[in-house]
């Protein structure tokens, strides 16, 4: 593993179902972030964490939850998916200089 | 609150010509400024950043950006564009005092370089 990995690559999900997007980094960065990317809106921050055991809410947190049990993993959970959560989701981690490094993304479609 | 504006949805340029992608920002206190590039179906890749020091920042792939505090701008430039520079470019800002390191992104500018 080099950098950030995300799984799955893509997913089609029925509305109302629960879904967890996985994110793992091997750079030992303390800070991690989840964004969603929608056309014309750029990237919007969902949740973030600056160390294991601590998380915070970003710009669009409703309908999403995160956990940070260890340094490497930062899963994002949709408890009950809705069509407006159809988006491309990116996980990122940040080095001590503030530069964020992004994973390849998960394309999620909620029907 | 912090915000970023990228006034152009798309920039078209011929290969070999100079490329400029505009970005203006609003943030309380001193800004940290970033440029990222995204190729189709890929994650964002870091190009360059301004933290402090020289207003002209040089980054990857021949790109540079100039921090202008009075105009609150951080325009991305490349002297001679390549077809392979065609991609989506994002400007981002964060407050220097934000210990969480949260970035605010612009909506993105699509760059199209024609042969």
CATH numbers and ranges of domains, chain A: 4-97 (2.60.40.10)
pLDDT at B97: 82
Is pLDDT above 60 for A76?
yes
Q: Which position has the higher pLDDT, A21 or B40? A: A21
Decide: helix, strand or coil at residue B62: helix
Express each pLDDT in B48-90 by its tens digit: 999 988 999 999 999 999 999 999 999 999 999 999 999 999 9
pLDDT at B81: 97
Q: What is the mean pLDDT of residues B35-45?
A: 93
% of chain B at pLDDT higher than 90 = 82
pLDDT at B22: 98
Question: Which of A45, A41, A42, A44 shows the shortest CA–CA distance to A55?
Answer: A45
Residue B93, φ and ψ in degrees, nearest 5: -135, 150
CB contact under 8 A, A105 and B43: yes
- Assess whether the previous peptide bond of A74 is cis (omega < 30° from 0): no
Long-range Cβ contacts of A66-71 (<8 Å, 24+ apart): A66/A34, A68/A32, A71/A28, A71/A29, A71/A30
d(CA B67, CA B23): 10
Q: Is B109 exposed, middle or buried (CB count within 10 Å of its CB: 0-12, 13-18, 19+)?
A: buried
Express each pLDDT in B5-33 by its tens digit: 999 999 999 999 999 999 999 998 889 99
Residue A70 and residue A24 in contact, taking contact as beta carbons nearer than 8 Å? no
- Band (pLDDT 50/70/90 cuts) for residue B96 is confident
d(CA A14, CA B29): 45
Give the one of A44, A48, A98 whose C-beta lies nearest to B32's C-beta: A98
Express each pLDDT in A22-67 by its tens digit: 999 999 999 999 999 998 888 999 999 999 999 999 999 999 999 9
Residue of B nearest to A50 (CA): B100
B71 CB near a chain A CB, below 8 Å?
no
Express each pLDDT in A77-93 by its tens digit: 999 999 999 999 999 99
Angle at B40 between CA B34 and CA B46, to 5 degrees: 20
Give the one of B49, B99, B107 whose C-beta lies nearest to A42's C-beta: B107
pLDDT at A93: 96
- Band (pLDDT 50/70/90 cuts) for residue A96 is confident
Which chain B residues have a beta carbon less than 8 Å from that of A45?
A: 102-104
The full set of domains in chain B, from first to last, is 3-114 (2.60.40.10)
CB atoms within 10 A of CB A64: 19
Which chain A residues have a beta carbon less than 8 Å from that of B44?
A: 43, 90, 92, 102
pLDDT at A81: 97
A98 CB near a chain B CB, below 8 Å?
yes
Q: Is B55 exposed, middle or buried (CB count within 10 Å of its CB: 0-12, 13-18, 19+)?
A: exposed
């Amino acid at each position: 593993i080099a950098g950030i990995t995300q799984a799955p690559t893509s997913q089609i999900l029925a509305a109302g179902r629960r879904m967890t997007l996985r994110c793992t980094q091997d750079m030992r960065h303390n800070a991690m972030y989840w964004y969603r990317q929608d056309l014309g809106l750029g990237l919007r921050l969902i949740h973030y964490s600056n160390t294991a055991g601590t998380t915070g809410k970003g710009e669009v947190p409703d309908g999403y939850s995160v956990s940070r049990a260890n340094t490497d993993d930062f899963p994002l959970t949709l408890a009950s998916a809705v069509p407006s959560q159809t988006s491309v989701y990116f996980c990122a981690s940040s080095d001590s200089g503030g530069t964020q490094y992004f994973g390849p993304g998960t394309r999620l479609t909620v029907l | 609150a912090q915000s970023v504006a990228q006034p152009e949805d798309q920039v078209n340029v011929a290969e070999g010509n100079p490329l400029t992608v505009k970005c203006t920002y609003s943030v309380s206190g001193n800004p940290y400024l970033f440029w990222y590039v995204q190729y189709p179906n890929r994650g964002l890749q870091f190009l360059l950043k301004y933290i402090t020091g020289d207003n002209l920042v040089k980054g990857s792939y021949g790109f540079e950006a100039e921090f202008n505090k009075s105009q609150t701008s951080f325009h991305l430039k490349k002297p001679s564009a390549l077809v392979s520079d065609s991609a989506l470019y994002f400007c981002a800002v964060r407050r220097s005092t934000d210990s969480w390191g949260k970035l605010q992104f612009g909506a993105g500018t699509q760059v199209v370089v024609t042969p």
